[in-house]
Copies of this chain bind each other. A is one copy, B any other.
Amino acid sequence: MKKTFSFFVFSCLLLIQAVYSQPTGLVHHLMPVPARMEKGNGRFTLTQEFTLAIKGKPHQRIYGGATRMLRRLDGRTGLFFSQAYITSNNTDASASLQITVDRPGKVILNEDESYTLTVTSEKIKLTATTDIGALRGLETILQLVGRDENGYYLPAVTIQDAPRFPWRGLLIDAARHFMPIEVIKRNLDGMAAVKLNVLHWHLTDDQGFRVETNSLPKLHELGSDGQYYTQEQIKEIIQYADSRGIRVVPEFDVPGHATSWFVGYPELASAPGPYTIERKFGIKNPTFDPTKEETYTFLDTFIKEMAALFPDEYLHIGGDENNGKQWKANTQIQAFMKANNLASNHDLQTHFIERALKIVTRYNKKMMGWDEIWQPGITKSIMIQSWRGKKSLFEAARKGYTAILSNGYYIDLAWSTSRHYLIDPVPADADLTDEQKKNILGGEAAMWSELATEETIDSRIWPRTAAIAERFWSPGSVKDVEDMYRRLDIISLQLEEVGLLHEKNYEMMLRRLAGCRDITSLKTLVDVLEPVEDYKRHGKGNILTSFGPYTLVPDAANPDAAVARKFRFLTDQYISSPNEAAAKELTYWLTLWKNNHAAFQQTLKQAPILKDVAPLSQTLSAMSEIGLQAMEHIRTGKTPSASWVETTKKQLEEAKKPQAKCELKVVEGIEKLVQKAAKATT
């Protein structure tokens, strides 16, 4: 009575014996794909006797890293290893895994992260210039673990690996929705697992000021609803990140995006207060007054304290999306502009940025900001983060500025993994000299949190960000989408090992929506839904605020719904060569979806929260019926009537429209079946 196998549920066997093979001839599940990889002969069998030793001159972070790796490996294999905590005493030359490190690594830009890993049937050798490279190699080892009837093993292999880009970041917006430190910690572990090396911590915005600031305490006291990081917690996170070879770059967004600053210090704004914490989203008016000396005195005090708190050489000052409305409305500011020959808001912003740059420089930091901070003549030590796109990015690189790309990696937009994956900061055809290309240091996935809470943020970040991490680390030639998805599905489960909630919160959220344990019909529906892309979630109907609720179907739905994706894949296969097996599988799913609505209506009776999703369930049922009809036409070769084709196309068009802020992601596949049926008869 239970369906125990279908292509939708990856079977264990399929996972392991996948026929896809890298050019090296080695089937593997590594993500990111290493720079060079060569298959060896045989395997290293993991047993209870497995031990590891560390030699050379590593930074002490390697011991924690090796211990964590050992525990994860033991947890996965259940082998009861004998070693407890790895320390500098563990140098035994007979240990199974020999780690050798030349020198202590520094958690700074451009540090050496390369490693060489050699697995033979006798031994595992991991050598690296720095312990940070060794940490990257330990993650590779964990991903390499295979298993079969004979036990757990590592395949014999030689890997020489190093990243393509030195700046591989994830931006976490802790301002729009506060993210408690456990969220940051588990995501740092996720980042380490896929070799990302920069946490860009967006700490202030209109909706909240999130850092305890001793010199200006009204910032966090009045600007955060009590939801801020203490300096102890900030230090804890920096330490946690350092242990994983990850830099922490803080962002304090000025002069716009600054409402929360003005709750405590309204006199710094360009319009009179009082101000309250912003609860809605979008570009807001409150902006620092760039004409007052008090503004710079204040920023000096603030940046002095933050520069001491955050050790990274970069400090991000935002600088984006200042709408200039407060400036235009302020006669004193207008007079200042006139007196100083500042023709436009743009010039005034430049004036502000240059003053800010002096302060940042005074405290021995390099300034980083969004595209808008880049103005002609500004010092080349600044770093541009491009949200605008490649035109802006390449122009900066040509002019000799260092820059990273975030446009295309905004993971809050709910795009498919493949769409992000295929975007390259420096594509092969980039119109840049080699020297100019070097100015592009990498990129950052950006997790803006208007729509994400501590409960949902993991599933918005993971597993999609693992594919982006591969883009930043692996050679540009690695871009087979199908193989990426194959590996992503495996890596996603491994990411659970470090405590990430992206997989397990899905059914929890469905249970809360359904109000009970029986989520069968709801899951069948949500499995083929995705939240609307881009910023379509905002506007219309209930207005979104920072206080939610974010417990709805579009919050539970995956931005890259695997069941729907696999259905589309299967329809493509079937259409290009119709066969019995694919037909059977398609029929199974279409029948399931067709019949699901009746069960869903039962669920609905006790779950009023699902009322606005009911039309989607109805549509899924109706479209599946159409899909079945189309397949019958294809099977029999019988001509569908012109009116059926016409009506059906209209219904499909209608079914593509979002409802309840979700899209039904199997319609495209069904549409192709209808097209095939219609063609078959012409």
Contact = CB atoms under 8 A, between A and B. Distances in A.
A152 interface: yes
A73 to B, nearest CB: 9
A4 interface: yes
Interface stretch (A75-83, A165-173, A249-257, A634-642): A75-83
A75 B551 CA distance: 5
Contacts of A514: 12
Interface stretch (A130-138, A156-164, A499-507): A499-507
B4 A1 contact: no
Contact of A606 (B12, B74, B518, B543): B12
A280 B504 CA distance: 32
A12 B232 contact: no
A562 to B, nearest CB: 9
Contacts of A236: 230
A10 B516 contact: yes
A501 B181 CA distance: 17
Contacts of A504: 501, 504-505, 507-508
Interface stretch (A143-151, A317-325, A380-388, A414-422): A143-151
B599 A13 contact: no
Contacts of A4: 518, 520-521, 599
A378 interface: no
Given A2-B2, A493-B512, A508-B496, A608 B518 contact: no
Nearest to A511: B493
Contacts of A501: 504
A607 B607 CA distance: 39
A607 B16 CA distance: 11
> How many identical subunits does the complex contain?
2
Given A84-B547, A518-B10, A520-B4, A608 B147 contact: yes
Contacts of A148: 605-606, 608
B496 A279 contact: no
A9 interface: yes
A64 interface: yes
A3 interface: yes
A518 B1 contact: no
Contacts of A493: 511-512, 516-517
A608 B152 contact: yes
Nearest to A5: B518
Given A504-B504, A608-B147, A515 B12 contact: yes
Counting chain B CB atoms within 10 Å of each CB, the highest count among A2, A152, A455 belongs to: A2
B75 A512 contact: yes
A499 B505 CA distance: 10
Contacts of A180: 182
A178 to B, nearest CB: 12
Counting chain B CB atoms within 10 Å of each CB, the highest count among A181, A504, A546 belongs to: A504
B508 A503 contact: yes
A497 interface: yes
Contacts of A12: 514-516, 518, 602-603, 605-607
Contacts of A681: none
Interface string A29-63: 00000000000000000000000000000000000
Given A508-B504, A608-B149, A542 B80 contact: yes
Contact of A225 (B13, B85, B605): B85
A322 to B, nearest CB: 26
A84 B279 contact: yes
Contacts of A151: 608
A457 to B, nearest CB: 13
Contacts of A505: 504
B74 A548 contact: yes
Counting chain B CB atoms within 10 Å of each CB, the highest count among A64, A516, A521 belongs to: A516
A549 interface: yes
Contact of A75 (B149, B497, B548): B548
Nearest to A232: B232
A15 B607 CA distance: 12
Interface in A295-353: none
20 contacts: A1-B588, A4-B518, A4-B520, A4-B521, A10-B516, A10-B517, A10-B518, A12-B602, A12-B606, A15-B515, A75-B512, A75-B549, A75-B551, A76-B515, A77-B608, A150-B608, A496-B512, A497-B512, A501-B504, A503-B508
Given A12-B514, A497-B512, 7 more contacts: A12-B603, A15-B516, A75-B551, A78-B549, A78-B609, A147-B515, A493-B511
A-B complex: 7 closest residue pairs judged by Cβ atoms: A182-B182, A12-B606, A75-B551, A504-B504, A78-B609, A232-B232, A12-B516
